[in-house]
Structure 1
Amino acid sequence: MLRLWLTPADLTRITFADRLHPAGTVLLAGQALRQPAVAASFPALSRRVTTSLPALRPLHHLLPVQGFVPDFMTPLDGLTSLDDGLAAIRSTPVRQVRAQVSAAYARVPVSAARRRFADADPEVLDTLVGAMRAYFDQVLAPDWPVLNRAHRQVVSEAASRYALSGADGLLARLHRAIRWRAPALEVDTWQEGEIRLGGHGLILVPSTFAGPRPRVLVLPERPALVVYPIEPDMVLDRAPADPLVALFGRTRTAVLVHTTRPGRHTTSSIARQIGISVSSSSEHLSALRAAGLVSSRREGGAIVHRATALCRDLAF
């Protein structure tokens, strides 16, 4: 059990992540969807895992089926995009990678790739990051807006509970493995010890992919991150109709969502990915740009488009 000691200052700095962390969700889903009960709750995601398995094998091999993973693989930074999260992982100092992988994987069967991972081999780290990108693009991306809307709904309900019952009411009802015994938050996780937060606060992240136990990340001079499990109360195959489609139409919504994904998006590449003509792609992008949802700039002979902050808030 891990006991987090909260000061009055910590209680005033309890926040929720306003959206899912792309790289962090890849790690959580990469474990969770290998559990039969979770896979049954998300059949569409599970089917994509199966069809994408060749690209995902390095991640599955290096990531334990369940339990603790090295802290650097779930960075606090990188909430805004997958690229930022993967960059944070890849820039981890070698000494930190070696120490955390060796500690976390002490009981995992040894293989050549795992041994190289524990030694912070750059080639293995690049392979891991590539497999994480493939996992997001091929498994999570099609339902990313739906997953984020579900996350925001849970956060909204928690915010209402906080408004009615304060920090005590909020912390006392997070999860059965989390007990609030003021001024300590007791968390049944894979770590043990006593940690004083020192006024830096808590970031709470509810997740259907968290696994059977909550997860805690504590870094110096940063808020403690507590990821706690919630029941999968919706099945993506039966998710309600996308409200963005009702607002913008299916094609324009597809263009909008595509601009939020990692990578370089030109008028032609968006047309090709979505299956529309270049002129149609240009028309939709012009409308989105006029609404402040897309920014565009010329790079050489192409025009590159990116989602604005307003677009990301709307899509996620």
Structure 2
Amino acid sequence: MLRLWLTPADLTRIRFADRLHPSGTVLLASQALRQPTVAASLPTLARRVAVSAPAVRPLHHLMPVKGFVPDFMTPWEGLASIEDGLAAIRSTPASRVRAEVSAAYAHTTASAARRLFAAGDPEVLDTLVTAMRSYFHQVLAPDWPALNRTHREVVREAANRYAMAGADGLLAGLHRAIRWREPVLEIDTWQDGEARLGGHGLMLLPSPFAGPRPRVMVLPGWPALVVYPVEPATVPDRRPPVDPLSGLFGRTRAAVLIQTTRPGRHTTSSIARQVGISVSSSSEHLSALREAGLVVSRRDGGAVVHRATALCRDLAHLHES
């Protein structure tokens, strides 16, 4: 059991993540969908995992089938996109990789690849990152908007509970494995110990893939991240029947449009990589969007950088609503 000591300042800094964490969700889903009961409740996702088996096999081999995963695999700065998360993972210092992977492997059978990963081998980390990218695009991406809509619905319900019952009611109603005994939040998780949050507060993230126990990450200078389970049955098993943007522009051009509205610096090649198309195809779609007044482009050094216009952002809301 992990005991989090919350001060009055911590109680004023309770927040929910405004969206699912892409790379973090990959890790959780890769564990959850290997459990027969979860796979049976989400058959479409489970079928995608089976079809994608060769590409995602390194992820399944290198990450434990359940329980604790290294904290560096769910970086705070990786919330905006899968590529942001993977870049943050890839930049982790080797010393931290060695320490956290060794701890995660405490009860895992050794193999050559796992030994290399625990030693901080950069090539093994590259292999893992590539498998995570494949998992996101092949398994989760088709339902990513629906998953985020479900996330927002859960957050709205929690916000209503907070409005009616305050912080005490919110914390007491998160999950049966989380108990609020003021001033301590007791969490039946994969770690044991105690932590004082020092006024940095809590970041709460409900997830259909969290597993039977909540997950907790406590890092100095950051809010404590508490990922707690919601029922997998609340996750739509298929995309909504109508996707307005895809109907208007086609699936690929709609994906390019959505990418330009996301945080970060977007070049022709980075959009191609994130959408999973060629650079020439990315350039063609961006040119069409630019001619329609949906994208503004400028040259920056050796690259062309693209930014969504206000009209483009308004259209993107169709995709999210």
TM-score, with structure 1 as normaliser: 0.86
Deviations 1:216-268 (A, max 9, x none): 000001100000000023453455444x51xx4614373333444598557x9
CA distance in 1 between partners of 2:66 and 2:168 (Å): 31
Match of 1:18 in 2: 18
Kindly indicate whether the alpha-carbon contact (under 8 Å) linking 1:4 and 1:197 is maintained by their aligned counterparts in 2: yes
Q: In structure 2, do the counterparts of structure 1 residues 199 and 26 end up closer, same or farther at CA, with 3 Å as the change threshold? A: same
Aligned-partner Cα distance in 1 for 2:257–2:202: 32
* Structure 2 CA distance for partners of 1:12 and 1:75, relative to 1, 3 Å: same
Per the TM alignment, residue 113 of structure 1 is displaced from its structure 2 partner at its CA by 0.1
CA distance in 2: counterparts of 1:85 and 1:212, whole angstroms: 25
The CA deviation string for residues 121-165 of structure 1, in whole angstroms up to 9 with x for no partner, is: 010011011111111111111111111111111111111111111
Once the two structures are TM-superposed, the CA of residue 91 in structure 1 deviates from its matched residue by 1.1
Give SS of 2:83's match: helix
Deviates more, 1:82-91 or 1:60-69: 82-91
Q: Secondary structure at the match of 2:128?
A: helix
Q: How many residues align?
A: 306
Tell me the amino acid that sits aligned with residue 254 of structure 2. Answer: L
1:295–1:279 distance in 2 versus 1, CA, 3 Å: closer
Pairwise mapping of residues 100-119 of structure 1 onto structure 2 (< 5 A)?
100-119=100-119
For residues 293 and 147 of structure 2, the distance between their equivalents in structure 1, rounded to whole angstroms, comes to: 23
Q: Which moved more, 1:171-180 or 1:95-104?
A: 95-104
Equivalent residue in structure 2 for 1:252, among 246, 249, 252: 249
Query: Residue 4 of structure 2 aligns to a residue in which SS?
Result: strand
Give the unaligned 5+ runs of structure 2.
none
C-alpha deviation, 1:45, in angstroms? 1.4
Retained in 2: the 8 A contact 1:70–1:100? yes
Residues 2 and 191 of structure 1 are in contact (CA less than 8 Å); yes or no, is this contact kept in structure 2?
Answer: yes
- Identify if the C-alpha distance between structure 1 residues 74 and 313 changes in structure 2 by more than 3 Å, giving closer, same or farther: farther
How far did 1:2 drift? 0.2
- Rate the CA distance shift 1:123–1:202 in 2: closer, same or farther, 3 A: same
Q: Which runs of 5+ in 1 are unaligned?
A: none
How far off is 1:47 after superposition?
1.3
Equivalent residue for 2:155? 155
Instruction: Give the match for residue 45 of structure 2.
Output: 45
Name 1:35's counterpart in structure 2: 35
Paired residues for 1:171-186 under 5 Å = 171-186=171-186
User: Which region of structure 1 is more displaced relative to structure 2, 96-105 or 249-258?
Assistant: 249-258
SS of the residue aligned with 2:233? Answer: coil
Residue aligning to 1:141: 141
- Cα distance in 2 for residues equivalent to 1:288 and 1:162: 42
Displacement after TM superposition at 1:74 (Å):
1.3
Distance 2:43 2:9 in 1: 43
Distance in 2 of aligned mates of 1:152 and 1:233: 15
Cα drift, residue 312 of structure 1: 10
1:72 maps to 72
Q: Distance in 2 between matches of 1:271 and 1:49?
A: 18
CA contact (8 A) 1:32 1:209 kept: yes
Is this contact kept in 2: 1:259–1:305, CA < 8 A?
Answer: no
CA RMSD, aligned part only? Answer: 3.0
* Whole-angstrom CA distance in 1 between matches of 2:77 and 2:284: 38
Cα displacement string for residues 18-48 of structure 1 (whole angstroms, at most 9, x for unaligned residues): 0111111111111111111111222221111
TM-score by length of 2: 0.85
1:205 to 1:108, Cα distance in 2 relative to 1, 3 A: same
Which residue number in structure 1 is paired with residue 99 of structure 2? 99
Residue identity matched to 1:216: V
Q: Secondary structure at the match of 1:106?
A: coil
C-alpha spacing 1:184/1:288, structure 2 compared with 1 (3 Å):
farther
Aligned match of 1:198: 198
Q: Percent identity?
A: 65
